[in-house]
């Protein structure tokens, strides 16, 4: 029998294969993203809702749980951040380099269940069943073209934990629906 590419994992789950040849190799971060028609075929630029369930081990103070973003530097974005060190979660809406929403909520239990709905004039956000952003009268970016999962491009902000579930709804859900999703 010829076996190639076997690896032993010390962690709780298998990771991607890294050929080491004759020396130790450091794993680069796994950056998941979706662009082009793979993204634009399902994303509604006018309104939507996000749900993310994740845990954060607290080793990165800006670990991103999920992110919708245009460009490599985040000039326009709708994003969730988790901060395991501070037991907080954050909802960001950035429009033309200006943070129109940058609000956090304290969370004491893991996993963190976050949800947000957004359309021009109405943005809401919840974490673990508590509403922390309510109908903020701001405009949202309408030219998003990339979905990033687990990191914020242009910075060194990676999720240092696990994403259990991601969901996207092409409509802005009500605040009561967001609370129910995250309870």
pLDDT in tens, the chain (183 residues): 887 767 677 766 667 667 677 777 776 666 788 888 998 899 999 999 999 888 776 665 555 555 656 554 568 888 887 666 667 788 888 888 888 888 888 877 778 888 999 999 999 999 999 999 888 889 998 888 888 887 776 666 677 777 888 899 999 999 999 999 999
Contact in structure between 126 and 118 (CB atoms under 8 Å): no
Tell me the whole-structure pTM to 2 decimals.
Answer: 0.78
User: With 0-12 CB in 10 A as exposed, 13-18 as middle and 19+ as buried, what is 78?
Assistant: buried
Closest CA to 51 of 65, 63, 37: 65
């Amino acid at each position: 029998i010829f076996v190639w590419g076997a690896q032993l994992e010390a962690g709780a789950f298998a990771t991607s294969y890294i050929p080491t040849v004759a020396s130790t190799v450091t794993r680069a971060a796994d950056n998941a993203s979706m662009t082009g028609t793979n993204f634009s075929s399902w994303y509604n630029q006018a309104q939507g809702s996000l749900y993310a369930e994740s845990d954060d081990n607290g080793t990165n103070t800006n670990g991103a749980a999920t992110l919708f973003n245009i460009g490599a530097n985040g000039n326009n974005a709708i994003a969730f951040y988790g901060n395991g060190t501070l037991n907080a979660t954050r909802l960001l809406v950035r429009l033309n380099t200006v943070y129109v929403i940058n609000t956090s909520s304290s969370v004491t239990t893991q996993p963190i269940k976050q949800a947000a709905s957004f359309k021009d004039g109405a943005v809401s956000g919840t974490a673990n069943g508590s509403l922390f952003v309510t109908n903020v009268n701001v405009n949202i970016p309408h030219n998003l073209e990339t979905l990033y999962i687990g990191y914020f491009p242009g910075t060194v902000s990676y999720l240092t934990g696990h994403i259990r579930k991601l969901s996207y709804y092409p409509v802005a859900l009500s605040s009561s629906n967001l609370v129910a999703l995250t309870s």
